[in-house]
Amino acid sequence: KQTLLYFTKEMPSWQVARRFDALQFQLNYQDLRSGKLNPNKESEWKSQLNTLNDGKLNIIGEESGGVSHVAAKIERYKPDIVYIDGMYLMDDDQRARDGWQRLLNISRDLKKLAKKSCVPIIATVQFNRQADNTKGNSANISGGDIARDADVILGLFQDEDQAINKRMILKVLKQREGSRPEIECDWDIGNMKFGEIQDEFTAGVQW
C-alpha cells in the first residue's frame, strides 16, 4: 500500500478527510456531510475509523508555505506520491512580486523537487478565461508558461448533459510520450463514484 501526501490549499483539511472517508468506506457523501447517515453505516464507519491508523494518508492543511515546505514534508513522510490541491495558492520561496513570475517560480521549483526526491508531484491549476467547461488546452492554463514544466497535463470538461448524468470528460492535454486520449468518466460526488465509463472492455475499472 502506497503512502500519499496531500496538500490542501483550497479546502480545510477536515473537509478533505471527510471526502476520503466517504470514498474509502463507500458512504454517501451528502449524507455524511449533513449528518444523515444510516445509523448502521455510521456505526460501521466509526468503528473502522478507530482501528484505521496506518499513516498511509497524510493531509497537510491550508497553512502558508512554499516549495521548501513541501520538501520538508516529503523528507518527513517519505511518500510514494504527492498531490497539491491549488498550486497557485502556494507561497513563492523566491518572493517574486509579479503574479506570473510567482507561479513560474513555484512550478520550476516543484519540477526540481520532483526530480531530486524521485517522487511524482501532481498539482492542480486553473484555466484562464479563454477556456470553458467543454474545451481547452495546455495554452489555456493561467500562467501559461508553467505548462512547459509539466510532463503530463490532464483536463476535466463537462457539458450540460454530462452534468445531469454525473459524467465528465478527462482529456490528456499534454504527454511527452504516448497518445492523448479523451476518456468519459462517471463523476458522481454524491456517491463518491469516479472512474471510466464501464463497457465490455473496461468493466471493473474504478478509481
The string of pLDDT tens digits covering residues 116-150 is: 999 999 999 888 777 777 887 887 887 657 888 89
69 — pLDDT class (breaks 50, 70, 90): very high
Of 70-74, 106-110, 172-176, give the lowest mean pLDDT range: 172-176
> Does position 201 have pLDDT exceeding 70, yes or no?
no
**10 Å Cβ neighbour count for 91?**
14
What 3 state SS string does 167-189 have?
A: EEEEEEEEECCCCCCEEEEEEEC
How confident is the model at residue 143, as a pLDDT? Answer: 67
Cβ atoms 96, 108 nearer than 8 A: no
Average pLDDT, integer, range 85-105:
91
What integer is the mean pLDDT of 23-51? Answer: 86
Predicted TM-score (pTM) of this structure: 0.85
Q: Between β-strands 152-157 and 193-196, what pairing exists: parallel, antiparallel or unpaired? A: unpaired
**pLDDT for 8:** 95
Q: Give CA–CA dist 59/20, Å, rounded.
A: 10
Query: Where is average pLDDT lowest: 2-6, 24-28, 144-148?
Result: 144-148
Least confidently predicted of 53-57, 63-67, 103-107, 166-170: 53-57
Q: In this predicted structure, what is the pLDDT of residue 164?
A: 94
User: CA 85 to CA 4: how far, in whole Å?
Assistant: 13
pLDDT, mean over the chain: 87
Residue partners of 13: CB distance under 8 A and separation at least 6: 59, 60, 61, 62
Determine contact, residues 152/170, Cβ cutoff 8 Å.
no
Type and span of the H or E element at 42? helix 39-51
